[in-house]
Amino acid sequence: MANIVGAIASSHTPTIGFALDAGKQQDAVWAPIFKAYEPVRKWLAEKKPDVLLMVYNDHVTSFFFDHYSAFTLGVGNEYKVADEGGGPRDLPAIGGHAALAQHIGSSLMADEFDMSFFQDKALDHGCFSPLSILWEHADGWPGKIIPLQVGVLQFPIPSARRCFKLGQGLRRAIESYPEDLNVVLVATGGLSHQVHGERAGFNNTPWDHQFLDLFEKDPEVLLDMTHADFARLGGMESAEVIMWLVMRGAMPASLQCLHREYYLPSMTGIAVAVYEGAAAAGTADAALLERRAAEHRAHMARQLQGIETLPGTYPFTLQTSVRNYRINRYLHQLAQPAFRERFRNDAAATYDEAGLTPEERDMIDRRDWQALIRYGVIFFLLEKMGAVVGVSNLHIYAAMRGQSLADFQQTRNAPGALYSVAGGGAANAKEWDQPKDGSR
């Protein structure tokens, strides 16, 4: 089973990344930052975790307000450094542990957390600022990450208690994963700071230390606090410290703090701490733990249990989405007029740009709707392709059933009904009556 070996709490101010990139290790102003993180770097080097689960927030870089979610889990295979305005930092992309992330996502949904999921999004300083100082990366990163983005910029946002409960769900998810992995939780954000309005530059060092004490020894006090409480005591942007409570909820009630440091150089109280679960009396029964993990996996599987007995049914799961992201993303572009035109005029060139495999190109060229569904393309992209190439939804349904259009129409209450999602400029019914090869 996967095992949480410990946790790190860290500010994620871009100050940290700036000092690292600028080589300020010996500068009197910046040196305390590096001194504070050195014990944490050593602890990580000793623990050698396979995965860091990074709880962070994006700063309107890869996530905008056209679709803003409370809890968004990265389930992909790789994460690049985001460009936040002046070009991305010179850091290598880092691998994502997609299998564990997908397990965690399924577990949290089974526990009734309404999660969002993302792939192919770059990560900004909320993640890479602390990560770059925690893990040596000159020769590539020593492990993988799972990013958990918390929407803390547009109110309403999750409460402190909801974040804590999410952490409890994370622990159930990680400890029920069947592969042996060592996981370290990294909670980022804070501490006291405000970066907007006439109150910009507000800090409260006594509160920062009190927060750190309560976080370790009496988190229940923090769980009852409102966002207005956090803003009053620590500045409006310090409300992001609720992300620390995700990590706290995933850790045992009794913590051992191995290292804690605090420094306020400018706008943000920078804190870093390392925690492990305090040693419990007795030894946990391995068989009991495995049985609980198995029971939780059964709980996770309940909603789709028996789906495999439905012939011709292919659920679009997280695993399917990640495995076939490339071809689904390619077909999603058919909603863009300029790409549609290029697809019609020179499909092969668009295949090359997307890096489609020979198998994927062949299925699209032959309009093999049934093969595409079985491969893992979601139907609602196929109907877009049908609209582009002049094939109705009914043609696609018939082809997937292995029937001619005429035979399939006889199974409908209104046999003559043909339709598509296409709008203006779409192929007309006459063209549908003479579909392309493979559309049947």
193 is catalytic: yes
**Left (φ > 0), alpha (ψ -120 to 50) or beta: where does 172 sit?**
alpha
Residues near 167 by beta carbon (within 8 Å), at least 6 away in sequence = 245, 246, 247, 248, 249, 250, 251
Q: What is the secondary structure of 102-149 as a DSSP string? A: HHHHHHHHHTT---EEE-S--B-HHHHHHHHHHS--TTS-SSEEEEEE
Beta-ladder partners of 123: 81
- The active-site residue, picked from 193, 227, 296, 395, is 193
Reference 432, options 387, 401, 391; nearest CA is 391
Question: Looking at 103, 125, 227, 296, which residue is catalytic?
Answer: 125
Q: Any idea of the CA torsion for 390, 392, 398, 399, to the nearest 10 degrees?
A: 30
Locate tokens 């909670």: which residue?
A: 187
Give, in order, the Cα–Cα distances in Å from 117 to each of 121, 317, 426: 11, 11, 33
Question: Position of tokens 């909801």?
Answer: 162
| Alpha carbon distance 238, 261 (integer Å) | 18
Contacts 24+ apart (CB under 8 A), 350-357: 354/326, 354/327, 354/329, 354/330, 355/326, 356/326, 356/327, 356/330
Name the pairing type of β-strands 182-188 and 144-150. Answer: unpaired
CA–CA gap between residue 164 and residue 247 (Å, rounded)? 7
Alpha helices in 302-357 (DSSP H): 318-323, 325-332, 337-345, 347-354
The DSSP output letter for 438 is T
| Residues 88 and 81: beta-carbon distance below 8 Å | yes
Active site residues: 125, 193
